[in-house]
Amino acid sequence: MPAPETNRAPRAVSVVLHDVAPATWPACASLLKTIDACGEVPVTLLVVPDYHHRGAITADAGFRRAIEERLQRGDELAVHGFHHLDDSAAPPSGPLQWLTRRIYTASEGEFAALEEDAAEALLQRGLAEFDALGWPVQGFVAPAWLMSEGTRAALGRTRLCYTSTRTHLYRLPDWQVTGHPSLVWSVRSAWRRAASRVVNEVQHRRLRAAPLLRLGLHPADAAHPQAVDYWRRTLAHSLNDDRTPMTKAAWLAAGA
């Protein structure tokens, strides 16, 4: 990969809400209410076209209206997989991949094992869903941040301008590296929540001087007050620390 670029954009904080879909919208709306209470903070919404096969975004009028209201507020949309399920016919190639695809990500790493043609077809299906609704889109984030080599190759053949992993933000199609690790909680068990608090506090201190701080929220966070409180405090601290709230696309456009 190329060396990281020299950052010219302002010091920023980017709030990113994963797994946005009709099925998850009540939890997403709850988290967005918390974010909105902190001020005028545009959010990058990672929209899943047909989350877990539970309903296409094109078929839910209420969801469409809600997203269009968020766009009017200045939010950004990005494609976040298609079904958000790892149902690839390719089995895990070894114990580490099995742990990553089946346990760590709960079988949601949809693009973890796709060949290039399959990845490109799924990417184009997702873009077609956005196009059908007239929704602008510049970025793609793979579910669980897992991308096969085939997915990486396929992304270079789309019109998308950026993608990201948990640790990096990339300009497409040449994969220029910018950005910094995303803070994220895992809330599936008590020990994961306890570990998340500690890890995120340490990571946040390490990233104090970073040009971009990414906050990666998930709908499941809404059910856990300690996670919601952490995101509220961290965002407020970032704004008080003179970070400019920006979507990922806006930060890249500013010259990152």
pLDDT bucket at 4, cuts 50 / 70 / 90: very low
Q: How many CB atoms lie within 10 A of CB 252?
A: 22
Closest alpha carbon to 109 in 136, 83, 73, 76: 83
Position 97 in a domain: yes
- pLDDT at position 59 is 95
Give a yes or no: residue 3 inside a domain: no
Q: Is the pLDDT of residue 242 over 80?
A: yes
Q: What is the mean pLDDT of residues 152-165?
A: 96
Residue 16 has pLDDT above 50, yes or no: yes
Q: What is the mean pLDDT of residues 132-147?
A: 96
**pLDDT for 178:** 87
Tell me, yes or no, whether 199 lies in a domain: yes
Q: Say if 182 falls within a structural domain.
A: yes
Q: What is the helix, strand, coil percentage profile of the chain, to 5? A: 45, 15, 40
- Of the listed ranges 34-38, 82-86, 132-136, the least confidently predicted one is 82-86
pLDDT at 97: 52
Give the tens place of pLDDT for each residue, 32-48. Answer: 999 999 999 999 999 99
* Cβ neighbours, 10 Å, residue 51: 25
pLDDT at 105 over 60: no
Nearest CA-CA partner of 180 in 227, 147, 215, 128: 215
Residue 4 forms part of a structural domain:
no
Give the pLDDT of residue 100: 53
What range does the domain containing 94 cover? Answer: 12-253
Task: State residue 127's pLDDT score.
Answer: 98
Average pLDDT along the chain: 90
Residue 98 pLDDT class (50, 70, 90 cuts):
very low
Q: What is the per-residue pLDDT for 6?
A: 47
> Which among 256, 234, 232, 231 has a CA at the least distance from the CA of 246?
256
Please give the backbone phi and psi of residue 67, each rounded to the nearest 5 degrees, phi first. Answer: -65, -40
**Torsion over CA: 40, 60, 46, 160 (sign):** negative
- Judged by DSSP in three states, 45 sits in strand
Let me know if residue 119 belongs to a domain.
yes
Query: Which of 19-28, 44-53, 106-115 is least confident?
Result: 106-115
Residues in the chain: 256
Residue 193 sits in a domain whose CATH number is 3.20.20.370
Asked whether residue 7 is assigned to any structural domain, the reply reads: no
How high is the pLDDT of residue 140? Answer: 98
- In a domain, residue 20? The reply is yes
> What's the structural domain count of the chain?
1
Q: What is the mean pLDDT of residues 2-22?
A: 80
Q: Contact 143/107 with Cβ under 8 angstroms?
A: no
The residue-averaged pLDDT of 115-139 equals 97
Over range 190-212, report the average pLDDT.
94
Q: Is the pLDDT of residue 117 over 50?
A: yes
